[in-house]
């Protein structure tokens, strides 16, 4: 059984095998959680992502975590919200699915996701949380993996509520905790 958790706090501080980054197609860093991850990991991270040559929206790439407590960083590129009719839901789901596939391929046992696309990319929070939760549940059911913990890491309370609600709607048991 994989434990599902909602955590309020800074994803860069989490002691897990892998943290997911809400990156952009360049993989060269940016603001928000991406900036925080690059700052905490150190310049070696940018040196590695430069060599990857970008990543299309809806996919993900994996690197080492360098100075982070996490061993791996999985850089997922979520969609920019354009009103809901530009395939945003599928692209957000696919970014999560790709991240989980990479995690499974690397024997990851604990992974933390930020609320991808819900910051500067403008994706509505509740809708994004339902997609994140739904994609994780389907993956855990259908694919082979070593995942023991999947953490939805939220920076603010509205994000926590959105994930709690999505998990409740899905009939999942989960635990909420606050870091720091």
17 in active site: no
Q: How distant, in Å, are the alpha carbons of 28, 76, 95, 167, 176 from that of 60?
A: 13, 4, 6, 24, 26
Nearer to ligand AR6, 18 or 115 (CB): 115
Residue by residue, what is the 3-state secondary structure of 71-94? CEEEEEECCCCCCCCCCHHHHHHH
Q: Which stretch binds ligand AR6 (CB under 6 A): 16-24, 57-65, 100-108, 129-137?
A: 16-24
Site membership for ligand AR6, residue 81 (CB under 6 A)? no
Report, in Å, the least distance between residue 91 CB and ligand AR6.
11
Site membership for ligand AR6, residue 115 (CB under 6 A)? yes
Nearer to ligand AR6, 9 or 171 (CB): 9
Question: Is residue 179 within 8 Å of residue 149, measured between CB atoms?
Answer: no
Residue window 27-66: x/- pattern of binding to ligand AR6, with contact defined by CB under 6 A: ---xxxxx-x------------------------------
Question: Is residue 97 within 8 Å of residue 139, measured between CB atoms?
Answer: yes
| Closest to 94 (Cα-Cα) out of 72, 112, 116, 110 | 116
110-113 and 18-23 beta bridge pairing: parallel
Q: Which residue is catalytic, options 10, 34, 89, 146?
A: 34
Residues that bind ligand AR6 (CB under 6 A): 10-12, 22-24, 30-34, 36, 78, 114-121, 153, 155-156, 159
């Amino acid at each position: 059984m994989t434990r599902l958790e909602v955590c309020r706090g800074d994803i860069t501080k989490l002691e897990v095998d892998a943290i997911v980054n809400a990156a952009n197609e360049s993989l060269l860093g940016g603001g928000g959680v991406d900036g925080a991850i690059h700052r905490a990991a150190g310049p070696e991270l940018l040196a590695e992502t430069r060599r990857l040559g970008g990543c299309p929206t809806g996919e993900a790439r994996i690197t080492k975590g360098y100075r982070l407590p996490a061993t791996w960083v999985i850089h997922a590129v979520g969609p920019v919200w354009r009103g809901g009719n530009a395939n945003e839901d599928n692209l957000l789901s696919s970014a999560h699915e790709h991240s989980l596939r990479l995690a499974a391929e690397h024997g990851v046992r604990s992974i933390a996701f930020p609320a991808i696309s819900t910051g500067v990319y403008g994706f509505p929070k509740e809708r994004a949380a339902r997609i994140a939760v739904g994609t994780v549940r389907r993956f855990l059911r259908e694919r082979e993996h070593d995942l023991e913990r999947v953490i939805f890491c939220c920076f603010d309370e509205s994000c926590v509520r959105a994930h709690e609600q999505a998990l409740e709607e899905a009939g999942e048991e989960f635990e909420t905790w606050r870091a720091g």
